[in-house]
């Protein structure tokens, strides 16, 4: 039998919507015991997000499966007593309130660290717990806009668009999970917990690898480039006889293979002799490539290019991706039982570890306060 890497790690999850719940979902997938503390009568906002099946949110199910739920009012004395018992047994507490909220409740970092020095405190918020705008509210779209991501997303000379996935939330949740795991390692060395403070805005600037490099090195601010990579060519979508597909020839060797596979005689042409030259002549190169690819269907070209070892692929919609044999073979589509009996579909855990079972089945998604008895019984068994 193998044991998940975070088996025995108790996480108190006070988060809602996406950034925090995405972080705690990751910890749960790695084996942590996640106790979701929700507002009585209302719970996580995403319980009211469509689509619904039998009155239950598929959105909530996708992010909160495998967790337990208890509803507590942290301003009510009896509920605070239960929460205090939970904190005493927790390894990690995660919250995504505005800075100051937990302090006003008496559960801020300084208060908890003094009482429970081994407790790790994770906080994710729009702008972080420091800086002049720490108190401002934020959602995914706000930080995509402020952080520069929207300015490079979309088609040239068109209005900016947000990335289709909520990367403002999701990337922050990923960074928070990384920070919490690092804090666990640090605690093993020092015996003390730390506060991990992740801002959604910070997380957006952190993923602008080429945009930051281009702006700082050249003084030229990049704009949207559609499907094309701004610093690698050929690396974008191309038209075939029946639609678009992707070619990503990211170096000179792959470009030479591409030319051979397509029957393009570009050897010795200075316009395409290096990646830099190809980037300067990207429009001409695209026309030359599409002169060939427009002659046959995309399936033909994908098979041909894959055979030549050139990265290529179809542009799949979500339904097609959920049926992709490679993703299915990697257990990336999982089944989640709901509290009403319906089985939801969710994304699997992309972190594959040799000691971590990788099942396509997940523990159920909890009803609001649906785990109260189980949690209280666990506390009693723990001597808390």
Q: What is the pLDDT of residue 36?
A: 98
Q: What is the pLDDT of residue 3?
A: 83
46 lies in some domain = yes
230 lies in some domain = no
Overall domain count for the chain: 2
Catalytic residue among 113, 229, 300, 342: 229
CA distance 194 to 206: 22
145 lies in some domain = yes
**Residue closest to 312 by CA, chosen among 324, 300, 295, 328:** 300
CA distance 193 to 119: 5
Residues 316 and 342 in one domain: no
The pTM (predicted TM-score) of the whole model is 0.94
Residues recorded for the chain: 384
50 lies in some domain = yes
Beta bridge mates, 334: 346
Q: State which residues form the domain around 271.
A: 235-320
Domain boundary among 320, 337, 371: 320
- The string of pLDDT tens digits covering residues 247-282 is 999 999 999 999 999 999 998 899 999 999 999 999
310 lies in some domain = yes
Q: Are 32 and 9 in contact (CB under 8 A)?
A: yes
Residues 83 and 200 in one domain: yes
Mean pLDDT by 10 residues, the chain (384 residues): 85 97 97 97 96 95 97 97 98 96 97 98 97 94 96 93 96 98 98 98 95 93 92 96 97 96 94 96 97 98 97 97 97 95 95 92 95 96 84
Task: Establish whether 33 is a catalytic residue.
Answer: no
**Residue closest to 205 by CA, chosen among 154, 248, 150:** 150
Residues 102 and 189 in one domain: yes
Residues 110 and 122 in one domain: yes
Q: What is the pLDDT of residue 2?
A: 62
197 lies in some domain = yes
Residues 50 and 142 in one domain: yes
Q: Are 24 and 123 in contact (CB under 8 A)?
A: no
Domain boundary among 303, 320, 337: 320
334 lies in some domain = yes
Q: What is the pLDDT of residue 1?
A: 44
Q: What is the pLDDT of residue 267?
A: 84
Residues 245 and 330 in one domain: no
Q: What is the pLDDT of residue 218?
A: 93
196 lies in some domain = yes
Residues 254 and 347 in one domain: no
Residues 373 and 263 in one domain: no
State the CATH number of the domain containing residue 303. Answer: 3.30.1540.10
Domain boundary among 320, 342, 370: 320
Residues 240 and 375 in one domain: no
**Residue closest to 3 by CA, chosen among 368, 353, 347:** 353
């Amino acid at each position: 039998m193998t044991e998940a890497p975070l088996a025995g790690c108790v996480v108190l999850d006070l988060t809602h919507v996406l950034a925090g719940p995405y972080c705690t979902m990751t910890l749960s997938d790695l084996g942590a015991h996640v106790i979701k503390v929700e507002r009585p009568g209302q719970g996580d906002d995403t319980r009211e997000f469509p689509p619904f099946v039998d009155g239950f949110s598929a959105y909530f199910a996708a992010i909160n499966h495998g967790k337990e739920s208890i509803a507590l009012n942290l301003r009510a004395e009896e509920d605070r007593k239960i929460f205090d018992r939970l904190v005493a047994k927790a390894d990690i507490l995660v919250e995504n309130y505005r800075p100051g909220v937990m302090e006003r409740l008496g559960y801020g970092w300084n208060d908890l660290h003094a009482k429970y020095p081994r407790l790790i405190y994770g906080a994710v918020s729009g702008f972080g717990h420091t800086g002049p705008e720490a108190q401002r509210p934020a959602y995914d779209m706000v930080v995509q806009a402020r952080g520069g991501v929207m300015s490079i997303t979309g088609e040239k000379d068109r209005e900016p668009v947000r990335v289709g996935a909520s990367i403002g939330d999701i990337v922050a949740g990923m960074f928070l999970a990384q920070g919490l795991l690092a804090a666990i390692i640090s605690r093993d060395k020092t015996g003390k917990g730390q506060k991990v403070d992740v801002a959604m805005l910070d997380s957006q600037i952190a993923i602008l690898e080429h945009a930051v490099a281009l702006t700082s090195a050249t003084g030229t601010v990049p704009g949207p480039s559609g499907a094309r990579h701004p610093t690698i060519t050929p690396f974008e979508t191309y038209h075939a006889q029946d639609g678009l597909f992707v070619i990503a020839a990211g170096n000179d060797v792959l470009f030479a293979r591409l030319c051979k596979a397509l029957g393009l005689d570009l050897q010795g042409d200075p316009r395409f002799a290096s990646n830099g030259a190809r980037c300067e002549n990207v429009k001409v190169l695209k026309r030359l490539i599409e002169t060939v690819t427009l002659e046959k269907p995309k399936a033909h070209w994908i098979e041909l290019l894959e055979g030549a070892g050139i990265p290529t692929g179809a542009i799949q919609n979500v339904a097609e991706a959920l049926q992709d044999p490679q993703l299915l073979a990697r257990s990336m589509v999982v089944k989640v039982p709901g509290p009403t009996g319906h089985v939801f579909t969710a994304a699997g855990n992309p972190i594959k570890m040799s000691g971590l079972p990788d099942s396509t089945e997940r523990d159920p998604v909890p009803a609001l306060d649906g785990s109260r008895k189980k949690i209280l019984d666990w506390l009693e068994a723990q001597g808390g």
